[in-house]
């Protein structure tokens, strides 16, 4: 089942120079990068990314913190394709709370902040990366961030092994 999913390296990941390492992890797993760009987000776009659903699940204050966080520096947005890409990417990324992310995951290896710490300082949790949570989110986020002409179809060498 070939899927597409959305991934964004957040400002802290870009600022720390982790873009190459993050891409390497996805490519090493056999997933394929089919779209990528860097951009600064304005508040209007950030609110489209962090939808009102975030407010219903986590509260409006958390949404506001996330919007401010993702707009504080450049973001690298990507579309990744592969068999069960959504699930595989989520495993590679690790738990949303870095403190509980397993070693070997992106968050487990590159950050350690807890929800408690972020709450104490009234900041969004710095966790380097965003990955779509499910198929519906992936479809919405890909359409929000990318035009069809920005996504590319090609065969990579890993695909020889999955047919």
What's the gap between Cα 6 and its chain centre? 6
Q: 49, 112, 117, 130: which is the annotated catalytic residue?
A: 130
- Report the C-alpha gap between 55 and 53 in whole angstroms: 5
Structure tokens at 100: 């509980």
Question: Catalytic: 130?
Answer: yes
Q: Is the dihedral of CA 88, 80, 22, 134 positive or negative?
A: negative
Distances (CA, A) of 16 to 50, 52, 75, 129, 138: 23, 29, 12, 12, 26
Residues serving a catalytic function are 130
């Amino acid at each position: 089942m070939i899927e597409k999913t959305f991934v964004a390296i957040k400002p802290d990941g870009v600022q720390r120079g982790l873009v190459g390492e993050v891409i390497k992890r996805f490519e090493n797993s056999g997933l394929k990068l089919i779209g990528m760009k860097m951009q600064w987000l304005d508040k209007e776009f950030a609110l489209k990314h962090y939808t009102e659903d975030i407010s219903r699940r986590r509260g409006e204050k958390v949404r506001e913190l996330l919007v401010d966080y993702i707009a504080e520096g450049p973001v690298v947005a990507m579309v990744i394709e592969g068999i069960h890409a959504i699930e595989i990417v989520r495993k590679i990324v690790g738990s949303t709370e870095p403190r509980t992310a397993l070693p070997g995951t992106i968050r487990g290896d590159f950050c350690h902040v807890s929800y408690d710490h972020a709450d104490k300082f009234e900041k969004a949790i710095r966790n380097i990366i965003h990955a779509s949570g499910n198929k519906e989110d992936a479809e919405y986020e890909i359409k929000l961030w990318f035009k069809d002409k920005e996504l590319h179809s090609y065969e990579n060498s890993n695909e020889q092994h999955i047919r």
